[in-house]
Amino acid sequence: MKYIDEFNDPDLARRLLDEIHATATHPWALMEVCGGQTHSIIRHGIDQLLPEQVELIHGPGCPVCVTPLDVIDQALEIASRQGVIFCSFGDMLRVPGSDRDLFRVKGEGGDVRVVYSPLDALELARRNPDREVVFFAIGFETTAPANAMAVHQARRLGLTNFSLLVSHVRVPPAIEAIMTSPVCRVQGFLAAGHVCSVMGTAEYPQLAERFGVPLVVTGFEPLDILEGIRRAVRQLERGEHRVENAYARAVREAGNPAALRMIEEVFEVTDRNWRGIGRIPLSGWRLAKAFRAYDAEHRFDVGGIRTEEPAECRSGEVLQGLIKPTECAAFGTTCTPRTPLGATMVSSEGACAAYYLYRRMNGPTPQATRATREEMNPVA
């Protein structure tokens, strides 16, 4: 416990860790579902401060990472077309498609724009009536209310030159897929706090009951994560499996009702492919019938694009918690943030990027220190 001085409240961190150490008598494997949590864990070396019995497994909680290759290629195809302004969040720029990325498309003359919010893309559509403006609508439940509002507003304003390339994913079906895998080792979950800020916790009790796992809603600051782990371990040691909210300052049981109403109006549940994992039933959203006219996949007829993922990339196993990034032969050799094989290496929330960034090059090191920007982009 000698490396916790950098925590924002080292005394509280120490107390939480003491209790986790005192409580854990059996080996337990917990999965954190949020990419922000993964980075916080690796950045602060939380996994190394835990007792040996408590293992953290990194889950599929990075929306950039799980966006399927097909959809990236659809995005690249649309972004390359004349007359299109393709809008995306910045962290999608370097996610590799089958032969290039959005950054490259921009270099080749495509009009790719980075926006902070989907409403910025909507504003571009309003100002450029002679151009088709397409927004790359990826993300989990946290992002869905924003994207839903954008398309809702587009219809209200009568904009006909705005559409979404939708690849929304939902957490609960992913938890179900992980728990029903024959190689699953997960015994408890740190549920993603900001997903629950929107969705609340109603979907989780049935998962806790069905799979006999504690689900602790957790934030992503170091103390939030320690508290989530403390509660999950306490439940496991007592033989309990309940939903607990360890992030009450940002999560209400009912979520955000206004946001939920908007999601329900604009989207409908559908099956989705997850990059590296495959098809998970009912694990995503697509535009509901009333909003189908705003679906870029149909408007640009790119639904037929199907692409094979590179065989040497094991990001699917990383995303399912089956291997740690360092167990992949390509990690840090043929696959680096500058030459990523998979999105887990390029996304700022990806597990592989976290291991690379915080110098976990050959498995656990005594202290996680942050690589400099020059080391991340290795040119002297």
Partner 1 sequence: MCLAVPGKVVAIDGSADPLTGLIDFGGVQKQACLEYVPDVRVGEYVIVHVGFALQRLDEESALASLKLFEELGLLEEEFGDAWEQAAQEDGTSAASERENSGSEAR
CB of 130 to partner 1, least distance (A): 24
Alpha carbon 182 to chain centroid, angstroms: 23
Of 328 and 353, which CB lies nearer to partner 1 in the complex structure?
A: 353
Of 200 and 316, which CB lies nearer to partner 1 in the complex structure?
A: 200
CB of 27 to partner 1, least distance (A): 29
Sites of contact with partner 1 (CB under 8 A):
8, 34-36, 43, 61-64, 89-91, 93-94, 103, 106, 114, 116-120, 139-140, 142-143, 145-146, 149, 153, 194, 197-198, 221, 249-252, 256, 258-259, 262, 337-338, 346, 348-349, 373, 376-380
Q: By three-state DSSP, how is residue 24 classified? A: coil
> Which residues is 111 bridged to in the sheet?
85
CB of 215 to partner 1, least distance (A): 19
The two tokens of residue 322 are 């089956």
Rounded Cα–Cα distance for residues 100 and 263 (Å): 32
C-beta of residue 272 within 8 angstroms of C-beta of residue 169: yes
Q: What is the DSSP letter of 138?
A: E
Torsional sign, CA 33, 35, 36, 38? positive
Residue 262 phi/psi, 5° resolution?
-70, -40
The two tokens of residue 177 are 């897929």
DSSP assignment string, 279-321 = EEEEEEEEE-GGGGGGBHHHHTT-TT---PPPTT--HHHHHTT
Of 116 and 182, which CB lies nearer to partner 1 in the complex structure?
A: 116
CB of 47 to partner 1, least distance (A): 17
C-beta of residue 41 within 8 angstroms of C-beta of residue 56: yes
Of 184 and 223, which CB lies nearer to partner 1 in the complex structure?
A: 223
Name the strands in the sheet holding 111-114, side by side, starting at the edge strand that comes first in the sequence.
111-114, 84-88, 132-139, 162-169, 278-287, 267-274
Of 298 and 338, which CB lies nearer to partner 1 in the complex structure?
A: 338
CB of 298 to partner 1, least distance (A): 24
Of 132 and 221, which CB lies nearer to partner 1 in the complex structure?
A: 221
Of 50 and 251, which CB lies nearer to partner 1 in the complex structure?
A: 251
Q: What is the CA radius of gyration of the chain?
A: 21
Rounded Cα–Cα distance for residues 134 and 120 (Å): 11
Written as one letter, the residue type at 291 is F
CB of 226 to partner 1, least distance (A): 14
CB of 294 to partner 1, least distance (A): 17
CB of 378 to partner 1, least distance (A): 5
Measured N-to-C along each axis, helices 222-238 and 35-43 cross at an angle, to the nearest 10 degrees, of 100
Of 53 and 98, which CB lies nearer to partner 1 in the complex structure?
A: 98
